[in-house]
A and B are shown apart, each in its own frame.
Chain A
Amino acid sequence: MTSVATLPAVALIVRSILLLLVWWVLTLGDRSGLGFGVVVAVLVAWRSVRLFPPSGYRLRPLGALLFTGYFLSRSAVAGLDVARRLLSPSLPVKPGEITLSLRVPDGSPRWLLANTLSLMPGTLSALLEGDRLTVHCLDTRMDVEQDVREAERQVARAFGLRLPSADGAAQ
């Protein structure tokens, strides 16, 4: 993928603008802090490009919107699910771990998947080594793998990616 999105300079500008928007919201549009905000936004964007170089994958606007909806509903279910288990006298949990290989590519898609999985029902991203993700499950009797695969499909759609149909082999 050698689109414009992989150029560090483009990433620096895009990230600076996004951070400046955050600054604008944080200061409630106050103009007196704007100069300071520009300096901070550019410095932070520069650091972030050094630490997390652009991977060339970009969120599609519609895909991102659909993903946000999916994520919010799933994380609400996650909260209610854990709350129900905690309040139940028998405490129905059966912690355990599964390891599976991810099909979304390295970079932002894999990062987004690992982070959102931690806020979805029954899963907690514990270890990410290459394409091997170890997920801690609150209840191993649930079909955790199916949930992870569904989340993976949603992430792929948010980035406009097509997943390889066979299991395992990413890239």
Chain B
Amino acid sequence: MIETVMPAAQGVLLILGCLLFAVGTLGLFRLTDTLARIHALTKVDNLGLGLIVLALLPLAPSFLAGLKTLLIWAAALAASATAAHLVARAVHAGREAPGAEDSADD
């Protein structure tokens, strides 16, 4: 029973995860302002990566390898929160100095 359910569940999680990445990228095209695009990229991609990590966890050859997979997710979460904040701050700095606006809006 478990032998058939597990791979199916993992497959579903993997496909959902990849679809979420695609949706996050779709956000880059559909949304128009920089900060709204950041919302799409950080939040949707994190969930996508989370589902992929969940799908891969049962395949980890050892306990440590599983921890390492979780660590990758945690590092990606921290990196995207930090990057999102930095981009947002750059957009604000660009608004206050009108000359820099073009570069911040790209």
**B47 located at the interface, meaning its Cβ lies under 8 Å from any Cβ of chain A in the complex:** yes
- B36 touching A119, Cβ below 8 Å: no
The number of residues on chain B lying at the interface, defined by a beta carbon within 8 Å of a beta carbon of chain A, is 37
Contact with A along B73-84 (1 / 0, CB 8 A): 000011011101
**B71 located at the interface, meaning its Cβ lies under 8 Å from any Cβ of chain A in the complex:** yes
Contact with B along A115-127 (1 / 0, CB 8 A): 1101101101111
**B46 located at the interface, meaning its Cβ lies under 8 Å from any Cβ of chain A in the complex:** yes
- B35 touching A95, Cβ below 8 Å: yes
Min CB distance, B28 to chain A, in Å?
Answer: 10
The 8 Å CB contact of A119, one of B27, B46, B89, is B46
Min CB distance, B72 to chain A, in Å?
Answer: 10
Interface of chain B, main secondary structure: helix
- Chain A residues whose CB sits within 8 angstroms of the CB of B31 once the complex forms: 86, 91, 93
Given contacts A83-B20, A119-B43, contact A125 B88 (CB under 8 A): yes
Given contacts A28-B68, A124-B88, contact A119 B35 (CB under 8 A): no
Contacting B at CB under 8 A, from A8-36, are 22, 24-26, 28-29
Contacting B at CB under 8 A, from A103-148, are 114-116, 118-119, 121-122, 124-127, 134, 136, 138
The 8 Å CB contact of A75, one of B24, B36, B47, B65, is B47
- Chain B residues whose CB sits within 8 angstroms of the CB of A65 once the complex forms: none
- A82 touching B39, Cβ below 8 Å: yes
Closest to B91 in A: A126
- B80 touching A86, Cβ below 8 Å: no
The 8 Å CB contact of B84, one of A22, A81, A118, A134, is A118
Given contacts A75-B47, A76-B47, A80-B47, contact A119 B40 (CB under 8 A): no
A interface residue numbers (CB < 8 A to B): 22, 24-26, 28-29, 75-76, 78-83, 86-87, 91, 93, 95, 114-116, 118-119, 121-122, 124-127, 134, 136, 138
Provide 17 A-B residue pairs closer than 8 Å at the C-beta atoms, listed in order of the A residue: A25-B71, A75-B43, A76-B47, A79-B48, A81-B43, A82-B44, A83-B24, A86-B23, A86-B30, A114-B85, A118-B81, A118-B85, A119-B42, A119-B77, A124-B42, A134-B92, A136-B88
